[in-house]
Amino acid sequence: MITKKIAIVCGARPNFMKVASLVTSMKACVTGMTPLLVHTGQHYDQRMSGRFFEELGLPQPDVHLEVGSGTHAVQTANIMVRFEEMLLKQKPALVLVVGDVNSTMACAITAKKLSVPVAHVEAGLRSYDDEMPEEINRKVTDAISDYFFVTEQEAQDNLLREGVPSHKIYFVGNVMIDTLLRNFPQAQTSDILERLHIQKGQYCLMTLHRPSNVDHAMVLKGLLKAFAHIQNRIKIVFPVHPRTIKMIDQFGLAPQWEQLKNIHQLEPVSYHEMIRLTAAAKFVLTDSGGVQEETTVLGIPCITMRGNTERPVTVTVGTNEIVGSDPTRIIHAVDQILAGQWKKGRIPDLWDGKSGERIVDVLKHLFVSVPCGV
């Protein structure tokens, strides 16, 4: 049987969990499609990339573009130049991009200009905040994609409002949750709680890396004030993103930072460690996108330190609340949780671990006429 090559692009940490589900689902049945895994190298070190491949059981990338860090323009341009060479050589039938990082947009544009169709997984999410680099990536990618796989109703509504024909939109659920559910049992065997001498329900897990929070001295200073208050009430476990620690140093905030004795600062943790830490936390403080979704599925209260979310179902259905970066509002939300006043939430529709299979099913009908298992 002739198989069609499907290029699956990943570049940065949050992409790896998403492509893991796609690669697994594509390999699980005879589909007439062969995944060609492309790593752009946007994230490149062991902490941010290598060990995620190991833990998720991802095969080594078929192609590694090794672009590394840079300004947005440099990084995007380098990805485009190298991805174009790859496309000309490998001639895939489709390029599948996930999420909203620079690699997503760069590869979508490059493919489209070579007339290679593009499918976007996690399409249609909108924060309506153009200060967020990811929002630009989402809008540009969706403006030129051919097929749209969405995680929630609101994303579908956004795309329809933007003029995307309904027959190109597929509500399939959330591939990130496929990977969460698949990895949960193994993540529970991680010994991270024991190593950190912390107990279930006795700490808050925090992540912080968005430019809107860490690239502005006044905002970051305000957040440190909030953390100073919160850590007096509960231990904070904080795997620090490289960008955040760099900015704390750059703004001369290291002395204030070092005074926060009840914050357990960690190097970026592995995926299984992160899931274990999330599932056992009293609550989570975050500015990440994916963490809002993971806490919703795990039923853990989530306080999002942003002014908006592109994932509204985590608020309307899940355990998430958007409180912004104002210290008073963050502290108030923490008080509510510690007083036992937080919503319970439930799991959004189709976040059931089968989204990758649904996507592969759709692709099969679009690109090959072979039923699964033949």
Catalytic residues: 209
Residue closer to ligand UD1 by CB (options 29, 136) is 136
Site map (CB under 6 A) of ligand UD1, residues 263-302, x = contact: ----------------------------------------
Rule CB under 6 A: is residue 14 a binding residue for ligand UD1? yes
**Considering only 7-15, 152-160, 163-171, 323-331, which stretch makes contact with ligand UD1 by CB under 6 A?**
7-15
Rule CB under 6 A: is residue 48 a binding residue for ligand UD1? yes
Cα 60 from Cα 16, distance rounded (Å): 12
Rule CB under 6 A: is residue 49 a binding residue for ligand UD1? yes
Q: Least distance in Å: CB of 238 to ligand UD1? A: 15
The 3-class SS string of the chain reads CCCEEEEEEECCHHHHHHHHHHHHHHHHCCCCEEEEEEECCCCCCHHHHHHHHHHHCCCCCCEECCCCCCCHHHHHHHHHHHHHHHHHHHCCCEEEEECCCHHHHHHHHHHHHCCCCEEEECCCCCCCCCCCHHHHHHHHHHHHCCEEEECCHHHHHHHHHCCCCHHHEEECCCHHHHHHHHHHHHHCCCCHHHHHCCCCCCEEEECCCCHHHHCCHHHHHHHHHHHHHHCCCCEEEEECCHHHHHHHHHCCCHHHHHCCCCEEEECCCCHHHHHHHHHCCCEEEECCCHHHHHHHHHCCCEEECCCCCCCCHHHHCCCEEECCCCHHHHHHHHHHHHCCCCCCCCCCCCCCCCHHHHHHHHHHHHHCCCCCCC
Specify whether the CB–CB gap between 120 and 137 falls below 8 A. Answer: no
Rule CB under 6 A: is residue 259 a binding residue for ligand UD1? no
**Considering only 82-90, 170-178, 237-245, 293-301, which stretch makes contact with ligand UD1 by CB under 6 A?**
237-245
Specify whether the CB–CB gap between 37 and 58 falls below 8 A. Answer: yes
Out of 4, 129, 133, 171, name the contact with ligand UD1 by CB under 6 A.
Answer: 133
**Considering only 236-244, 256-264, 300-308, 345-353, which stretch makes contact with ligand UD1 by CB under 6 A?**
236-244
* Close Cβ partners of 237 (under 8 Å, ≥ 6 residues apart): 196, 198, 203, 204, 205, 206, 263, 264, 266, 277, 281
Out of 59, 66, 69, 250, name the contact with ligand UD1 by CB under 6 A.
Answer: 69
Rule CB under 6 A: is residue 112 a binding residue for ligand UD1? no
Cα 322 from Cα 309, distance rounded (Å): 7
Out of 39, 43, 126, 364, name the contact with ligand UD1 by CB under 6 A.
Answer: 43
Can you tell me which residue has the tokens 């509504």? 157
Q: Least distance in Å: CB of 341 to ligand UD1? A: 30
Rule CB under 6 A: is residue 42 a binding residue for ligand UD1? yes
Residue closer to ligand UD1 by CB (options 75, 231) is 75
Residue closer to ligand UD1 by CB (options 290, 301) is 290
**Considering only 45-53, 81-89, 159-167, 345-353, which stretch makes contact with ligand UD1 by CB under 6 A?**
45-53
Q: Least distance in Å: CB of 142 to ligand UD1? A: 16
Out of 29, 30, 34, 44, name the contact with ligand UD1 by CB under 6 A.
Answer: 44
Out of 25, 40, 102, 212, name the contact with ligand UD1 by CB under 6 A.
Answer: 102
Q: Least distance in Å: CB of 122 to ligand UD1? A: 12
Rule CB under 6 A: is residue 242 a binding residue for ligand UD1? yes
Residues 174-233 that bind ligand UD1 (CB under 6 A): 209
**Considering only 199-207, 239-247, 251-259, 366-374, which stretch makes contact with ligand UD1 by CB under 6 A?**
239-247
Residues in contact with ligand UD1 by the rule CB under 6 A: 12-14, 42-45, 48-49, 69, 101-102, 133-134, 209, 241-243
